[in-house]
Structure 1
Amino acid sequence: MQSRRAQGFTLIELIMVMVVMAIITIGIGRFVSLGTEGYLQTRDREQLQSQARFAVERVARELRNAVPNSLEITNNSQCLSFKPIQYGGDYINQSLTDITAIIGFVAQTAAPIFQSYMQLVINPQKLQDFELNNHQVATVTAINIGTETNQWQFELDGQHRFDSGSLAQRFYTYTHSVKFCIEGNSLTRTTIDNAGTQSQPVLLSQYLDSSLSMFTVDNAALARNALVAWQFTFTRNGESSRYNHTVQVMNAP
């Protein structure tokens, strides 16, 4: 006759084992779940910071190549636009009255290439100086080689008179404008050529809090060039990161 011990487990014993296994399983599952959540939060945080650093650096780098005094804030401080320098140099014209070309030396060593809707500006002091009916800007129709090394002749669309010259005899050319905009929770970049054709917005970053993000411009003064500041606040999964950055536009009229 078999002993009672050899007959197997009782129902109570089975229930106790199942309860203990359930507790262990729940504990292990919770531990794995916490680890997974921590990994996902860390990954999202790194992605958010990477996007923020990219956005700040992208805006800063492009602003350093802005034509002087071409900065403009629009849309309740949510958009910043400016004209990037295509070519810059020093002109040697003795007079800027009734001329058909600007002759000068460009800073770049490579030969300048003519592009449609290229415009040339001298001594811009305000946004109105970039309007075509103003006497500080002219349309370029061709670029011809000069008589000296790295000297070029920028042909203008007819006889032109510049109201004021540059103290350093600088000139700049540009073919388009760049606009950075905070739209909803995104930062976008758009280009607008001098003919008015606008490109499709390019997404630079997401998760922006537009109510806490903005651009500001402190225009140039006698003692310094213009300062551009922006505040970007990124929010994701209940966490916020704020980035404040200021860039001085070093190019002078």
Structure 2
Amino acid sequence: MQSAFTLMELVIVLMILGILAVSSTVFIQYGVETYLAGVDRQKMSGSGRFLVERLSRELRDAVPGSPRIHDVFSETGDNGANEGSCLSFRPTEAAFAYLEAPIVPKGASLTATVMPDSTFPNNLSSYIAVIFPESYTDFNVANGRAATVSDVDTSVVPHVVTFSSAVQFEQNSPAQRLYLTHSEITYCLDAGNVYRYINRLTPVLMGQNYGNTAAELMFSRSGSSYSFYSLITVLMRLSERGEDVVLSHEIQLLQQP
């Protein structure tokens, strides 16, 4: 004689199957969420690494003394500021060893002489010449501390660099270097996005989903503008789908003015 399931046994079996189904669903959901969280963290870490690698390469080629930290779109940022949302600098387009240059106490002049093995870029009229700049204001042609280049005579030794206007550089470079630079590069954290500007124009998106708090300014500096061990620290808090990844990267400025 065969016996059938009782109603109680059937209810118990259904309850057990329900518990197993819920447990399996929760386990699968937890696994998927863990996987997605790992993917998000990897994605955010990759985004942060891309930014600091690009910035590191550019900063290491910056004209000594040109990096400055300031607030978003500040035109008068203090070159000695310690923290801020933006970092600006001037890339080195060329550098020469000069022999004679109009440096205080000498008077202003239209020419300087450089070593004959110097290599000059094309379209010189778009470049600014500076010697030992101590502040972003030293790149301003209007104040007479920098000058655009109009011509280079390589037929004579040493070569003669002619400026578009008379210039009087403030200080002699310890390494006797004359730098040519072009545009100012600016990286800014604004409303969760990091943008790269050239002369404050045409922003290019370099990263997004940044959640730095008001107390977590993105850029900070230790050491003076010309300290051999001057460091720029980049602090990044990336946020996506409730996940936060905090990265801190130090860029050493090996500057030789």
Query: What is the aligned counterpart of 2:139 among 130, 134, 149?
Result: 130
Identity of aligned residues (%): 26
Alignment partner, residue 227 of structure 1: 231
- Deviations along 1:14-60, one digit per CA (max 9) or x if unpaired, are 55544343333222222211111111111111112222222233222
| Residue identity opposite 2:209 in structure 1 | Q
Tell me the distance in 2 between the aligned counterparts of 1:82 and 1:227. Answer: 14
Tell me the distance in 1 between the aligned counterparts of 2:117 and 2:89. Answer: 20
For the Cα contact (< 8 Å) 1:229–1:245, is it kept in 2? Answer: yes
| Residue identity opposite 1:78 in structure 2 | S
- Deviations along 1:202-243, one digit per CA (max 9) or x if unpaired, are 23343332422332234235x646432333233445554433
Matched ranges for 1:80-119 at <5 A? 80-93=87-100, 97=107, 99-105=109-115, 112-114=121-123, 117-119=126-128
For the Cα contact (< 8 Å) 1:190–1:202, is it kept in 2? Answer: no
* C-alpha RMSD over aligned residues: 3.2
Residue 139 of structure 1, CA deviation: 0.8
| Residue identity opposite 1:174 in structure 2 | T
Tell me the distance in 2 between the aligned counterparts of 1:116 and 1:17. Answer: 87
Residue 178 of structure 1, CA deviation: 0.9
For the Cα contact (< 8 Å) 2:37–2:243, is it kept in 1? Answer: no
Tell me the distance in 2 between the aligned counterparts of 1:227 and 1:240. Answer: 25
Query: What is the aligned counterpart of 1:29 among 25, 28, 33?
Result: 25
CA distance 1:137–1:201, change in 2 (3 Å): same
Tell me the distance in 1 between the aligned counterparts of 2:206 and 2:225. Answer: 30
CA distance 1:18–1:246, change in 2 (3 Å): closer
Alignment partner, residue 204 of structure 1: 207
Tell me the distance in 2 between the aligned counterparts of 1:4 and 1:85. Answer: 94
For the Cα contact (< 8 Å) 2:193–2:209, is it kept in 1? Answer: yes
Tell me the distance in 1 between the aligned counterparts of 2:128 and 2:26. Answer: 65
| Residue identity opposite 1:198 in structure 2 | L
Query: What is the aligned counterpart of 1:69 among 65, 76, 86?
Result: 65
CA distance 1:21–1:205, change in 2 (3 Å): same
CA distance 1:106–1:11, change in 2 (3 Å): farther
Q: How many residue pairs align between the two structures?
A: 241
Residue 146 of structure 1, CA deviation: 4.7
Residue 173 of structure 1, CA deviation: 0.9
For the Cα contact (< 8 Å) 1:184–1:210, is it kept in 2? Answer: no
CA distance 1:95–1:155, change in 2 (3 Å): closer
| Residue identity opposite 2:50 in structure 1 | F
| Residue identity opposite 1:166 in structure 2 | S
| Partner-residue secondary structure (3-state), 2:143 | coil
For the Cα contact (< 8 Å) 1:213–1:233, is it kept in 2? Answer: no
Alignment partner, residue 185 of structure 2: 178
| Residue identity opposite 1:120 in structure 2 | A
Query: What is the aligned counterpart of 1:245 among 242, 249, 257?
Result: 249
Residue 145 of structure 1, CA deviation: 3.8
